[in-house]
Amino acid sequence: MRHLLKVSCFGSFIFLFTGSLFLQSCSNEAKKTTDDKQKYVISDSLFKTLKIDTVDKCQLVNAITLTGQVDYNQDNQVKIFPMISGNVQDVKVALGDYVKQGQVLGVISSSEMAGYSKDLSAAETNVAVTKKNLEATQEMAKSGLSSQLDVLAAQTAYQQAQAELSRSNRVLSVNGGSKDGQYIIKAPISGFIVDKSITNNMTIRSDNATDLFTISDLKNVWVWANVYESDINKVHLSDAVDITTLSYPGKVFKGKVDKVMNVLDPTNKVMKIRVVLSNDNYALKPQMYASVTVTSKVNSDAICVASGAIIFDNSQNYVLVYNNDSDVQIKPVQVINAIGDKTYISSGVNPGDKLVASQALQIYSALNN
C-alpha cells in the first residue's frame, strides 16, 4: 500500500511538472508571437524608394479657398459702336476670330458718308475759288484797281475756305476716310472677336447703344473671386493666389490679389477681389469657373511637415516617426491646415524628428497588421 502511495505521488509530481513546463512553453510562445507581430522592419528595397522628411518650424500660413470666374481684362478690351447710320453690306469676321489692328471687319453703305464726301468736294472747290479770287485781287491792287481792304477780304475768305476743308477732311477721317459713300469698320487693336451683334443686310443707326463688335486681347485675363463677410479679414492686397479650373485639373495658375473692391454686392452679399493672370497660350477662357486659393502669412510660427507624411485614419491624423529600419512609430498629430506640399500642425512631433514622407500609408497598414 505504501508502495502504491509513493508511485501515485510520484505520478502526480510528474504530471504537475509536465503541465508547468507546457504552460511556460505556451506563455513563451505567445510572447514570442506578440513580439514578432509588433516588430516591423523596413526592407532595403523599400527604403530605397522612401522619402524621409525632417520636421521643421515655419512661419504659419493661412489659406482660404474661394469660388471665382475668369473674365476679360477690361483694360485691354474695345467695344466698337456705329459712328453713322446705314446698311451693312459685308461682314468679314465671325465670333471668336483673331484680328489684327487695322484689319477690315465690315462695310456699311451710308448716305451720311456720301454727305461727308460731298462736303469735302465742296470745301475743295471753295478753296480753289477763293485762292483764285485772292490772287486776282492782289494783282488788281498792284494796278490801283483794288484797295487793301479788298485784298484783306479776299485773304480772309481764302483762310475760311481752308479751315472748312480741314474740318471736312477730319470728319471724313473720323468716319473711315472713304469717299465712295461707304463706312469701313476697322479693328482698333489686335485681339479676338468676343462679341458680335452685326449681320449682313442689317440696318444700323448711330444713336444705337449696342456695340457692333467687341475685341479683347486675351494675353492676360482677370479672375474675380467671391469673399463672404466672415472671410473678409483673411484676404489682403498682394496675397499669393493659386487658381485651378475644371479644364486643367492638374495645372495651378499662380498670381496675386491685384484689387480688393471693399464693397459688398447688394444681391449676394459678397466682396469681389481681382487677380490678373498672364494668358500667353490662351488656356484660360472668359466665363470659366475657377477655384481660387488665397494664402497669407501670419506673425507666428508652427511645426510644418511634408503633406505626404500625413495619414488620415478613423477621424485622426497620424505620422510615422522614423528612428531606424526596425523602429518606426505611429504618432497622432493635430493639423492646423495644409497648403500644397506643406502641412502645419500644432502638436504630436518635434522639430528635428524624421518622418516617412512617401508610401506612408503602406507602412502604416503593415504596422497595424
Is the pLDDT at 238 greater than 70? The verdict is yes
Is the pLDDT at 105 greater than 60? The verdict is yes
Please compute the mean of the pLDDT values over residues 245-263 and round it to a whole number.
Answer: 92
The predicted structure's pLDDT at residue 28: 54
How far apart are the two ends of the chain, measured CA to CA in Å? 59
The CATH architecture assigned to 44-60+300-368 reads Beta Barrel (2.40)
Give the model's confidence band at 29: pLDDT under 50 very low, under 70 low, under 90 confident, else very high: low
Q: What single-letter DSSP state applies at residue 227? A: E
The predicted structure's pLDDT at residue 198: 92
Q: Summarize pLDDT for 37-68 with one digit per residue, the tens.
A: 457 788 888 888 889 999 998 888 888 899 99
Cα separation values, 343 from 124, 234, 336, Å: 79, 19, 8
CB 213 within 8 Å of CB 196 = yes
Spatial CA neighbour of 338 closest among 62, 73, 139, 134: 62
Alpha helices per DSSP H over 225-267: none
Cα separation of 350 and 39, whole Å?
24
What sign has the CA pseudo-torsion 94, 100, 102, 103?
negative
Domain extents in the chain: 44-60+300-368, 65-74+219-299, 81-110+181-217, 114-179
Q: Summarize pLDDT for 291-305 with one digit per residue, the tens.
A: 999 988 777 888 899
CB 184 within 8 Å of CB 173 = no
CB 234 within 8 Å of CB 246 = no
Which CATH topology does 81-110+181-217 take?
OB fold (Dihydrolipoamide Acetyltransferase, E2P) (2.40.50)
Neighbour tally for 183: CB within 10 Å: 24
CB 64 within 8 Å of CB 292 = no
The predicted structure's pLDDT at residue 24: 54
Cα separation of 233 and 292, whole Å?
16
Cα separation of 277 and 245, whole Å?
13
Cα separation of 152 and 126, whole Å?
17
Q: Summarize pLDDT for 317-345 with one digit per residue, the tens.
A: 999 999 988 888 899 999 888 877 889 89
The predicted structure's pLDDT at residue 227: 94
Contact partners, residue 53, CB within 8 Å, separation at least 6: 305, 306, 308, 309, 354, 355, 356, 357
Is the pLDDT at 2 greater than 50? The verdict is no
Domain spanning 65-74+219-299 has what CATH number?
Answer: 2.40.30.170
Give the model's confidence band at 78: pLDDT under 50 very low, under 70 low, under 90 confident, else very high: very high
Strands 98-99 and 182-186: unpaired
Q: Summarize pLDDT for 185-222 with one digit per residue, the tens.
A: 899 999 999 999 999 999 888 887 789 999 998 999 99
Contact partners, residue 19, CB within 8 Å, separation at least 6: none
CB 333 within 8 Å of CB 358 = no
- Residue entry with cell 518606426: 328
The highest-level CATH class for domain 114-179 is mainly alpha
